[in-house]
Amino acid sequence: MDFAFGPEDEAFRREARAWLEERLTGAPGRRDWERELGKGGWIGLGWQEDGYGNRRADLTRQVVWAEEYARSGAPARSGHIGENLLAPTLIAYGTPEQKRRFLPPIAEGRELWCQGYSEPGAGSDLAGIRTTAARATDTGAYRITGQKIWTSLAHEADWCFVLARTEPGSTRHHGLSFLLVPMDQPGRVEVRPIRQLTGTSEFNEVFFDGAVARAGHVVGGEGNGWRVAMSLLGFERGVSTLAQQIGFAEELGRVLRTAVATGAAGDPVVRDRLVRLWAELRTMRWNALRTLGGSEGPGSPGSVGGSGGEGAPSVAKLLWGGWHRRLGELAVQVRGAAAAVGPADRSAALPYELDAAQHLFLFSRADTIYGGSDEIQRTIIAERALGLPREPRGRP
């Protein structure tokens, strides 16, 4: 299956392409670029409501924009967590006051968000939350204490949506709430970047020591955090997956060209792996289009998987996580011994520099772990989609 693009869609594509070509000059700062996107009306195309400074676009035009953005080589988005995760969640579960307060700054690219889910010792076990939020009897505000980890872009974020335990003595998915927490709380919120093998530090540890969230900043009502959090994970696998796949196709093309240049393509085993990766990438695209083309759309409230069924997000994660990791392995294999040597134009900014293939190999090692490990995804598919017996749980 594929989308049929009509004349109006192609006109929209030309508009998007022209806008990107005109604005992509130099190296814009991440915040400046988000504001530029907001001014152009390119944030919030897929929201189910407008009137917050965004313009709505149908699914076909969302796909067009995602494709053109990926092909243009535009900077990686720093506002995607607010736009693609929090905003749809607020539209589904937020109060009118919460929508009026938080959606316009996201649409304008003025406020950036991070996601406070994973914790030390419970990276893939989201129900193992230990961060607590105690409500003050006088003001109704929440005081949050605990630690989050692997928090992407926390060092740049203005706000964090935090899953915390608001019911003392509760366990697992009971007694959780979804709180909106300002990051600018010196002494109460501390962000520590985590240095990775690639030399970069987009992941962080975040420590909350009595951080304050207002009484009106709990989404979906106190104690309903699990339902809200699960719906948000459904929104995570939306149109952006198609843009991700365009990036994957470009990486595969580079690996293929390297294989030809080094002579590795003469090896029938390497050729087989290249063809298999190409075929699997096409399968991922068809699966994404099938999921997006359903009647409800991805991330429908009350469903983890949206129109693709309960296990759709987990199937997608399994597909692309393993695929990207295998691509990284092949990227260094086709280079041979040269893959073990760093580039000649080293910079003093890092103790070592990586070329594109080396970065791909090292970073993609984490693809089958973050966002829920492969083991967790298979359990979700087995229990929620296939209806198999639940895996035995240990005592909390």
Handedness of CA 359, 365, 369, 373 (dihedral sign): positive
User: Structural domain boundaries of the chain?
Assistant: 7-107, 113-223, 237-385
pLDDT score, position 124: 64
pLDDT confidence bin for 46, thresholds 50/70/90 = confident
Q: Name residue, tokens 């000059």.
A: 25
Closest CA to 210 of 105, 132, 112: 132
pLDDT reading at 127 higher than 80? no
Is pLDDT larger for residue 384 or for residue 308?
A: 384
pLDDT reading at 381 higher than 90? no
What would the CATH number be for the domain defined by 237-385? Answer: 1.20.140.10
In sequence order, the β-bridge partners of residue 192 are 205
CB 142 within 8 A of CB 134: yes
Q: What is d(CA 66, CA 238) in angstroms, rounded to the nearest whole number?
A: 11
pLDDT score, position 374: 85
Q: Name residue, tokens 């693609």.
A: 84
pLDDT score, position 235: 72
67: left (phi over 0), alpha (psi -120 to 50) or beta: alpha
Two structure tokens written together for 337: 């011994």
Burial of 176 (0-12, 13-18, 19+ CB in 10 A): buried
pLDDT tens digits along 233-273: 777 656 667 778 888 998 999 999 999 999 999 999 999 99
Secondary structure E strands in the chain: 113-116, 132-135, 142-148, 159-165, 176-182, 189-193, 204-213, 218-219
pLDDT reading at 305 higher than 80? no
pLDDT tens digits along 334-356: 998 888 887 665 554 555 678 88
pTM: 0.81
pLDDT tens digits along 189-225: 999 998 888 878 888 999 999 999 999 999 999 999 9
Burial of 151 (0-12, 13-18, 19+ CB in 10 A): buried
Q: Is 264 helix (H, G, I), strand (E, B) or coil?
A: helix
- Provide φ and ψ at 126, rounded to 5°: -65, -30
Q: What is d(CA 278, CA 273) in angstroms, rounded to the nearest whole number?
A: 9
Q: What is the mean pLDDT of residues 297-319?
A: 57
Name the DSSP class of 83.
Answer: I
Active-site annotation holds for 251: no
pLDDT score, position 35: 95
Q: Which of 68, 108, 111, 236 is catalytic?
A: 236
In sequence order, the β-bridge partners of residue 144 are 133, 211
pLDDT score, position 332: 94
Two structure tokens written together for 152: 């992407």
- Provide φ and ψ at 342, rounded to 5°: -75, 165
pLDDT score, position 63: 84
pLDDT tens digits along 146-182: 999 989 899 999 999 999 999 888 888 899 999 999 9
- Provide the residue count of the chain: 396
Q: What is d(CA 53, CA 104) in angstroms, rounded to the nearest whole number?
A: 6
Q: What is the mean pLDDT of residues 29-42?
A: 92
pLDDT score, position 123: 63
Architecture of the CATH domain 7-107: Orthogonal Bundle (1.10)
Closest CA to 110 of 23, 44, 175: 44
Q: What is d(CA 64, CA 54) in angstroms, rounded to the nearest whole number?
A: 17
What would the CATH number be for the domain defined by 113-223? Answer: 2.40.110.10
